[in-house]
Structure 1
Amino acid sequence: MTMNSLKDLYLDQLQDLYSACKQSMPVVTEMGRVAKSRELAEALIAGNEGIARGMEHLATLCSQHGVDPTGEHCKGMEGLVTEARKHALQADFGDDDVRDAAIITQYQRLTHYAIAGYGCVRSFANRLDLDADGGVLQECLESTRDGDKHMTRIAEGGVNQKAANG
């Protein structure tokens, strides 16, 4: 797609964000399966549910604007997923609590990418006077931020302490 307008960029970035979300789900599932902390595993399940809801919203927005949500492949998230697998799943851990700390680190990196993406497309929608789109994207942004804050609470509430004592 040739970018001739902010609207073109907006649609491109909706597709890119959809791709990012789709790519992140399998690795989040994998991290949830190996997490020692039950609270962390449950938060990762909830995170995937939030990602899926975000994808539904993105697909709806794309459809309303006549574009296929799968029209892009997000190379940025591809790299983050590779890093998450390398540093949270494939690394050699002698302590499960340390792995849990690594899982939170990698999950938050994935999440911060999504926060940036949602913030950008929400700003584009607002500038383009797409108020309904902006409202939906604001909800997605807030939900993603809430998930990130929840992971910080899990880390600071015990996972990091257990990893430090390991």
Structure 2
Amino acid sequence: MALNSLKDIYIDQMQDIYSADGQAAKVTRELAEAAHNPKLKKALQAGVEGIEEGRRTLAEIIGAHGADPSGEFCKGMEGLVKEARSHALEEEISDADVRDAMIITQYQRMAHYGIAGYGCLVAFAKRLDLTEDAVKLQKCLDATAHGDQTMSELAEFGINEAAA
């Protein structure tokens, strides 16, 4: 698809985040399985649910604009997923608390990609006067930011101390 207008970029970037979310959900399930700390495991499972809810929202919005949600493949998230698997799942880490700290690190990198993407989408929707889209996308942004904040709290108030 040629990108000749802000609307074209908006749809393209929604498709990108739709792809990113699909990739992130899959590896987040794997991270949850590998997590040792029960609070971290629960937060990651909630993260998967939130990511999947974001995908459903994106599919709905993209479809309403007459486009295919799976029209893009997110190479940025592909790299972050490879890093998450390499560092948090495949790396030889003998201490479960240290692995949990690494899991948080990798999850937050993916979450920050989502925060940036959803933030741009909200701005595009507002500029295009797509108020209903902007409200839905803001909820996705808020949920992603909340998941990131939860991981920071888990790290700062227990997991990093245990890993040290």
What TM-score do you get using the length of structure 1 for normalisation?
A: 0.98
Corresponding residue for 1:16?
Answer: 16
Corresponding residue for 1:74?
Answer: 74
Corresponding residue for 1:62?
Answer: 62
CA deviation map 1:71-103 (0-9, x unaligned): 000000000000000000000002110000000
Give 1:66 deviation, angstroms. Answer: 0.3
Give 1:155 deviation, angstroms. Answer: 0.5
Gaps of 5+ in 2: none
AA of the residue aligned to 1:15: Q
SS at match of 1:71: coil
Corresponding residue for 1:52?
Answer: 52
Gaps of 5+ in 1: none
- Report 1:11-160 matches (<5 A): 11-160=11-160
SS at match of 1:2: coil
- Structure 1: which 4+ aligned runs deviate by more than 2 Å? none
Give 1:54 deviation, angstroms. Answer: 0.2
Q: Distance in 2 between matches of 1:118 and 1:34?
A: 28
Q: Distance in 2 between matches of 1:83 and 1:25?
A: 15
Give 1:5 deviation, angstroms. Answer: 0.2
Q: Distance in 2 between matches of 1:30 and 1:7?
A: 35
What TM-score do you get using the length of structure 2 for normalisation?
A: 0.99
Q: Distance in 1 between matches of 2:23 and 2:65?
A: 23
AA of the residue aligned to 2:89: L
Give 1:121 deviation, angstroms. Answer: 0.7
Q: Distance in 2 between matches of 1:15 and 1:26?
A: 17
CA deviation map 1:125-150 (0-9, x unaligned): 00000000001011110111011000
AA of the residue aligned to 2:134: G
Q: Distance in 2 between matches of 1:3 and 1:27?
A: 30
Report the count of equivalent residues: 164
Give 1:157 deviation, angstroms. Answer: 1.1
Give 1:25 deviation, angstroms. Answer: 1.0
